[in-house]
Structure 1
Amino acid sequence: MPTLFALVAILLWSTLALLGSQLTHLPPFLVLGIALGVSGLVSFFWPKAWQIPWKTLAVGVGGIFGYHFLYFRAFALAPAVEANLINYLWPLLIVLLSPLVLPGMRLHWRHAWGALFGLTGAALIITGGQWSLQARYLPGYLLAGAAALTWALYSLLSRRLSPFPTAAVTAFCAAGSLLALAFHLASGGSLTALATLPFHDWLLLLLVGTGPMGAAFFFWDAALKKGDPRTIGALAYLTPLLSTLNLALWAGQRLTWVHGAALVLIVTGAVVGSWPARPSLSREPAARQPSTPP
């Protein structure tokens, strides 16, 4: 069941690029504020959502808002291809940091190899096999890396914290929405454009807020609380692959051999990373059979 929850979250996240590509004419933090506001609105009708410790709320808001804040700032300071590639270190970081954050977790070779296969496949999809890092974009690269680390830590700490209901995710979204709108206004934006937004834009914002920036967070929270983060981290590399397939199906993006190679790598990584461990053989000697009398 946790794997299924993770796959549902991944499927929802794979629609974000398609939906977001039609909202690029709007300021990113305005989109983020409205989308998180849609998903966070439920918290005001769900009292249990706010009945959580301050530490839990801080981790939740820091994860959801903090990740997107760093993500958008990275894209403003560095080329999209390289920033997105560095951002997709977060599934690998989930795998590598699991033993450090979660007591009792051990890193096995299959988890590390699965994440590395997935990262290689994601790199092919994002870059098309061509990319270069330039020193002048270092601040953007660092912010993209910080975004990846933020989401990885949020995903792991949500399991390390005292148990809290998944309903609390709506409170994380509500608080994140207010912070996103505050940053939009503080950076010179306004809310007057909302009055003139066409119905099509509002529909897209509603879809983003209920899907990739809404329900996906709930499924991800449930998956990480009950599942193996090392396996889920390897599966997460399906996100850029499915996102590209969505763009190919609905937005006319052309698929190439690079995407085919990435498909093989990501699927291989998902299989290797989720491969069940062989049961350990007992070292105790087998019980002797009673000797039969002559």
Structure 2
Amino acid sequence: MNRTIPTLVGFSAILTWSFLALLSTAAGPIPPFQLAAMTFLLGGSVGAASWIVRPSAIKSLRQPWQVWAIGTAGLCIYHCAYFFAIQSAPPVEVSLIAYLWPLLIVVFAAFLPGERLKPHHIAGVVLGLAGAIVVITKGGSVGLADGVKPGHVIALFCAFVWSGYSVLSRRFGQVPTDVVAVYCLITAAVALTLHLTLETTVWPQTPTQWSAIAILGVIPLGAGFYAWDYGCKHGDIMI
């Protein structure tokens, strides 16, 4: 199978995620778990809506428990943690740290069957890490603008979670992307439970905040996830 198109599809997901921090900030001071519940409900609904015209896709949801465990844990843990991190540390710094996951994917993917770490992969990892350090430190000494905050540590945790989820998804390449809709809906349910247990509900106050949440759910946390799943399973994951 030609990997070019799936790789480009996967890359399109990264483009949508470049707006994640901006939209999360524009959504206002919505509690992290509440924001995750709202956006993942929208993201899951995007995929589930397609089953109306593709009823046969529902049959593909019969999958081993490992598929559901990895998918749900990857989406739920990463994004609940990310939304929390972005509200407890500077969004730009959080995003840069969390987005070390592509570098980790290159390293972890080397352990997949048929993949191996090549010199240009290593060079890319080193250059990417160096670039992230330069941007975070603004060219100064190694350190963060206002010291290390919990959000920075959580952002690093996010990088490991998402890279692990992405690489493990490759091992289930035969599983159709329709399962991602269920991942999102389960994640929304988990996030809602955590929100009702731990947080106080805060509704968006302006049309801009509502719009940011809607776009966040439909594009980065909706279409972006489906594109990423397809790209990871069928494209060149090392790229």
- Determine if the alignment matches structure 1 residue 20 to structure 2 residue 28: no
Measure, in 1, the Cα distance between the counterparts of 2:113 and 2:12: 27
Instruction: Compute the displacement of 1:92 (Å).
Output: 0.9
Measure, in 1, the Cα distance between the counterparts of 2:110 and 2:143: 32
- Determine if the alignment matches structure 1 residue 103 to structure 2 residue 113: yes
215, 227, 238: which one aligns with 2:235: 227
The answer as to whether partners of 1:94 and 1:156 remain within 8 angstroms in 2 is yes
Query: Where does residue 32 of structure 1 map in the other structure?
Result: 36
Instruction: Compute the displacement of 1:183 (Å).
Output: 1.6
User: Gaps spanning 5+ residues in structure 2: where?
Assistant: 52-57
- Seen in structure 2, the aligned counterparts of structure 1 residues 12 and 82 have a Cα distance that, compared at 3 Å, is closer
Instruction: Compute the displacement of 1:212 (Å).
Output: 0.7
- Determine if the alignment matches structure 1 residue 124 to structure 2 residue 134: yes
The answer as to whether partners of 1:159 and 1:224 remain within 8 angstroms in 2 is yes
Query: Where does residue 245 of structure 1 map in the other structure?
Result: none
Query: Where does residue 176 of structure 2 map in the other structure?
Result: 165
- Seen in structure 2, the aligned counterparts of structure 1 residues 200 and 139 have a Cα distance that, compared at 3 Å, is closer
Higher relative contact order (CA 8 A, sep 6+): 2
Query: Where does residue 215 of structure 1 map in the other structure?
Result: 223
Instruction: Compute the displacement of 1:201 (Å).
Output: 3.0
- Seen in structure 2, the aligned counterparts of structure 1 residues 220 and 44 have a Cα distance that, compared at 3 Å, is closer
Larger Rg: 1
Measure, in 2, the Cα distance between the counterparts of 1:177 and 1:13: 18
The answer as to whether partners of 2:75 and 2:183 remain within 8 angstroms in 1 is yes
Measure, in 1, the Cα distance between the counterparts of 2:186 and 2:107: 29
Scaled by the length of structure 2, the TM-score of the pair is: 0.82
Scaled by the length of structure 1, the TM-score of the pair is: 0.68
Residue-by-residue CA offset, 1:158-199 (whole Å, 9 max, x unaligned): 1113621101101011011111122222113237x36xx544
Letter in 1 for 2:214: L
- Determine if the alignment matches structure 1 residue 2 to structure 2 residue 12: no
SS of corresponding position for 2:238: helix
Letter in 2 for 1:201: Q
Aligned Cα RMSD in Å? 2.6
Identity rate of aligned residues, in percent? 39
The answer as to whether partners of 2:27 and 2:210 remain within 8 angstroms in 1 is no
User: Gaps spanning 5+ residues in structure 1: where?
Assistant: 232-294
